[in-house]
A and B are shown apart, each in its own frame.
Chain A
Amino acid sequence: MYQAEVHRTVSEVRLLERLSFDLTITDEAYQSEHSTDGEIRVFNRADDQVIRDREYPPAHPLGVLTGGVSGESESAYPGTTLYVGVAREPPLEQDEDAFQDDYVMKAIDVDGIPEDGVVGVDLDWDAAEARESMADDTARVATERYDISGLPNDQLPIIVRAELYRDAKRILRVLRNEEDGQRDDLRGRQQYEGQAALVLDIEHRTESGADSAPLRVEGLQVGLSRTFPQIQFDPEHGSSYDPQSRQVKWGSRTVQPGDTARYAIIGPISELLEVDRLDARLQATLGGRTLSGVTVAELFDESGESTQQWQESTPTVSEKTTITAEVEIDPSALRGESKEVSSSRITMQTTPVALFNELVKVCDRNGINITERSPPGDGTPVEGREGVYDVSGEDAGELDVRREYGDEGVVYAGMEITGRYTAMSEEAQVSTFDETEDRLVRRTKGGLDDAGRATLDIDARSADAELNSRFLSTIEEAFGGEM
């Protein structure tokens, strides 16, 4: 029986596919991308014989006499090529429709290895390398890479989702994984009152095929751009938070097919929204399974015989998929429900500063929370018109507000105030609006014709347009319907 070197040296063959998943949710972009690739890894170790065969190759007496030890043609000696037989199975079985089945098989392209054939892996050593391997007692890994393309989104083994919840009832249900309509737990709700939860879901998609291995989440690491004292994490068990580096880590866990690993960062909404950036990195593995359906069918030596004919113990063979998910989130982009955007513009005969102050009062009166404010600046002198100042660009006044409408939702609005004013009118105006009484304000309005001109631009965002217009009309009515 042929004694190839690979019989002795190869200990393990691993088929490894990698899925890198990128999810970016910021105000500018919602991007979900993935890339895939694979490789065959052959673990092999040198032994004494390997070194001996390199340092003292067998020589023919005539060859020695004529001055060379390497005189013989040794194409397959000492037998360093391993043929890795790879086969492909369709990763998804759709037994209803043959055409669909074809489609699925063709959808994923594997480039670099055959669909049904062998990959020849050269496992030759040089003597020095072999000595090193033996001295370190480490296996050398030979790698054959291949590309996987066209893996459809709906065949990814995981789905990554990020959501922001604000309602205590919802938060409790989401964290407890309860269905809607279950008995309300008032006491449980208490702890989430006034809180928001940023939830990261890693769902292990159920396959239609039979043997779905569990997903092993090795860990999740989340870095926050800022922290705050009230921050909490769920699940608390298995998490560790370092406020210094603003990093929270969750340990390993197993997710059965169809189940979801859920992680949450909890805190007051205003604090959570202040976090500009959250970077999450998840690492997980799927044992015994590849994305492309490529499997190692059998191993062969250079004589063409399979490991089953080898006298030495056969190498172990395994298949594995590793998943890395990188999620970048700007939590404010998840306020989200803000899919509907409505705008309104109000122009008044007043100064920008006066309008700003008035607006602050309107908000206070109507239960609108101001999350961020910056009053209009002094403006820049307008050329050719003495004493007139233009307030725009950097000088524009800004208000970010939030108005909650109970169970109906939340409206987020950004308001910008621009305009012009004369130096004289400014002083008068400030005192006018300092009066808290509505009556006074309305009365003085008429007399401000030459004081200036201010424009208020409002962008309201919420889950539905009706809520937006309700919000906008609140503001508009407060200014007497003047537009």
Chain B
Amino acid sequence: MGSISGLLDFLESKGRAAATARLLLSVAFVLVVWEAVASVVESRLLIVPPLEVAQALSEESASGALWTNAVATIGAVAISFPIAALIGISVGLALASSRFLALTAGPLLTALNSVPVIALAPLFIAWLGLGFASKFVIVTIFSMFPILVTTEVGLRATDRHLVEAARSFNASYWQIFRTVTLPFALPFIISGIRVGWARALVAIIVAEFFGAFAGFGFAILAAGQSFDTAVLLAYVILLGILGLSGSLFFEWLERRLAPWRQDQ
């Protein structure tokens, strides 16, 4: 009993070792359940055991298909997402600093945010063709909204007492922005970027479903159509790793930039 609760205490604790242990434990759990289900379910169309998926992955890698797809997908996201973040932050900034914009463009953007813009993907592809342009637009539009919203919220949430204290030192508008408002909003912005990153991955896959000659989405669709469940799952797992590592990175960044929000 004692050792179990000691183990749980360790897993609950802060620190890198505990976090790694938690991650390994949940991965192991998923693998065990997966293996168990795969040994019960007969149909290899429905589910494939982990080892076969790993095999499919190494075959994809050996044939070079994995790298072609990775370059297509990661390349498109790597170019589109930073631009989406930049646009999101800029528009959020504009909305937070202009009452006129907030009153006129704000409601429109909020409405757009609640529309599943991703459903317009086929339309963008019809307009912009099967190349990079359509993917860029779909990823950018779909992932910029959470960043835009959290930027505006963060900037507006700034403690007005802190602003007044800065003003009492005769700080200029720009100095207040640089030393008070922006640092205050930064953790908000990064959590928006974290959500945006997950959306960017969804967007690129959907875009590749509808029109692409390479990419994870393309490969998943192709594997699905040829009933190759092992390859399909291999790419889904790669996507999961991509999403998780991005999320962990942004969480780490948030902690780094806002240490005062942790242990208070």
A binds B: no
Q: Which residues of A contact B (CB under 8 A)?
A: none
Q: Which residues of B contact A (CB under 8 A)?
A: none
